[in-house]
Chain A
């Protein structure tokens, strides 16, 4: 707990291999190294299946690297990392609990009393603009509202690291923009380090301080870009028209396009296509 305020993530030479059901060894990511400073918003972009989610799993401690180390706050990750919250593309809300009970889970797991947990959950629901919806069940809410609940549930424990695995991937464009703005607003209040996985490059550039581009499988770090757009950035819809945004976006897309095309050829063309290319 001495490092409670230090959310520095250091990923050093991490390789992760899986055994496929047919007995082959599949290398998901290979020799990945990058660092996320405390309070930094880091986006990871890359083609489908480049091991982005695998990386998150290892930072959270749900998974162990085959080689290399993952350090959080200077300590090697072993077991579930303390002070981490997760947000997934799919809802990770419990459908049998009300909105209030879902958000209150974080404090309850940390040992808070039910009354205290509910009081804090109420406060967080108000912050994400869902006051009055405490007694609803998740299925009674719209997709955007469920995302707000998930956001409150992820932030209520005041994590030093927030990990987001394509959190807004399933939303429509308008809702996605609204949610991105709200995320930035909430993030600027408590400033956890964020590891944000997406395949939407615009989203990555608009939100992040740093963009890590990964290659397709096995996933490796191809390039790291610092996004020097000033903060607070305001609306993500408007920042898209700024010259600096476009410049960075083009620059990163040039790097990313090659990988995306390679990954696409692999999945669309099948193994014969790949054999010819090799």
Chain B
């Protein structure tokens, strides 16, 4: 940079040389970035080969008992089998869809309720003080156990799974929304009030956008919990779903199918994570950009 700025005061020959030098620097930086990226990918693939290869070799040499712990090649054939032949509860797509439906509905209900309750309690000191201890108590309860009650009360359809997922999601989103509202900048709040904003306007223009950073961050982990809620509900009792496939495989001493179902679920979560990330990008587009990888390399 310094060569470029001084070159304006020197002769044209120097300026041309400085320009060449600068483009050489830029190219070197680009090469450094590419090299770094290649090294990262080599590391990633190497790690996967090490873990999966180690597991496969261990299973074949009986260091790891494949009867209990499966083996990568077995997981792969179980996966192929699931997609080609389906399961005794219908095709694998049907089962995926059932689980996804439960998780998505639970996620939606839990997240909306969490935001509403969190924003309301966050704004009212009185309500927060009244309900604070109860919320702590409910949060300390292992809520996953509620699944049993929901199954008994609502049968083995999709409703109890949706409820279980919603309960798990609610608390995560609620705590974040609540904290986000508490962290709103005092000056901004005072300024909006002095400018004549009504309570509703303060909520709409100041509090919710401010808490959004917190809420969105919580949605990442919340979706994982929605899936957990749906799966546990299915394991406890269901007619269809990935949880049921896992339970059935467990009863048949078939670890490979359990791992295969696990793999499917993790792909689903990754897809959902990607969607949430897009949403985050869109909603929080006002945030300053993080410094790029390229500038780190130089």
Whether A109 lies near B197 (C-beta < 8 A) is yes
Bound state CA distance, A90 and B201, in angstroms? 22
Decide yes or no: A97 and B187 within 8 Å by CB, A105-B205, A109-B192, A109-B195 being known contacts.
Answer: no
- 15 more A-B contacts (CB under 8 A) besides A95-B286, A109-B201? A60-B190, A61-B194, A80-B194, A82-B196, A86-B191, A88-B190, A90-B187, A92-B188, A93-B188, A105-B192, A105-B195, A106-B195, A106-B196, A109-B196, A110-B196
**Shortest CB–CB separation between residue B273 and chain A, in angstroms?**
23
Name the B residues within 8 Å of A106 (CB-CB).
195-196
B193 in the interface (beta carbon within 8 A): yes
A126 in the interface (beta carbon within 8 A): no
Number of interface residues of A (CB under 8 A): 29
Q: Contact flags (1/0) for A42-86 with B, using CB distance below 8 Å?
A: 000000000000000100111000000000000000001110111
A residues at B contact (CB < 8 Å): 57, 60-62, 80-82, 84-86, 88, 90-97, 105-106, 108-110, 137, 139-140, 153, 157
**Shortest CB–CB separation between residue B153 and chain A, in angstroms?**
42
Decide yes or no: A88 and B191 within 8 Å by CB, A94-B209, A109-B197, A109-B201 being known contacts.
Answer: yes
Q: Which of B242-278 contact A (CB under 8 A)?
A: none
27 contacts between A and B (CB under 8 A): A60-B194, A62-B190, A62-B194, A81-B194, A82-B196, A84-B194, A85-B194, A85-B195, A86-B190, A86-B194, A90-B187, A92-B187, A92-B190, A92-B191, A93-B188, A94-B205, A97-B205, A97-B209, A106-B195, A106-B196, A108-B201, A109-B195, A109-B196, A109-B198, A137-B286, A140-B288, A157-B196
> Which of A60, A82, A94 has a CB less than 8 Å from the CB of B188?
A94
The 9 closest A-B pairs by CB, nearest first: A92-B191, A109-B197, A96-B286, A109-B196, A92-B187, A86-B194, A96-B209, A139-B288, A88-B187
Bound state CA distance, A106 and B286, in angstroms? 21
Query: Chain B: interface secondary structure?
Result: helix
Name the A residues within 8 Å of B197 (CB-CB).
105, 109
B residues at A contact (CB < 8 Å): 185, 187-188, 190-198, 201, 205-206, 209-210, 212, 284, 286-288
Whether A157 lies near B195 (C-beta < 8 A) is yes
What total count of A-B pairs have CB within 8 Å? 68
Name the A residues within 8 Å of B287 (CB-CB).
95, 139
**Shortest CB–CB separation between residue B156 and chain A, in angstroms?**
45
Name the B residues within 8 Å of A92 (CB-CB).
185, 187-188, 190-191
Q: Which residue of B193, B198, B206 has the most chain A CB atoms within 10 A of its CB atom?
A: B193
Name the B residues within 8 Å of A60 (CB-CB).
190, 194
**Shortest CB–CB separation between residue A140 and chain B, in angstroms?**
8
Bound state CA distance, A93 and B188, in angstroms? 7
**Shortest CB–CB separation between residue A24 and chain B, in angstroms?**
21
Bound state CA distance, A177 and B289, in angstroms? 31
Q: Which residue of A lies closest to B284 (CB)?
A: A96
Name the A residues within 8 Å of B209 (CB-CB).
94, 96-97
**Shortest CB–CB separation between residue B189 and chain A, in angstroms?**
9
Q: Which residue of B192, B195, B284 has the most chain A CB atoms within 10 A of its CB atom?
A: B195
Bound state CA distance, A105 and B198, in angstroms? 12
Name the B residues within 8 Å of A140 (CB-CB).
288
Name the B residues within 8 Å of A62 (CB-CB).
190, 193-194
Bound state CA distance, A99 and B265, in angstroms? 44
Bound state CA distance, A85 and B190, in angstroms? 10
Name the B residues within 8 Å of A139 (CB-CB).
286-288
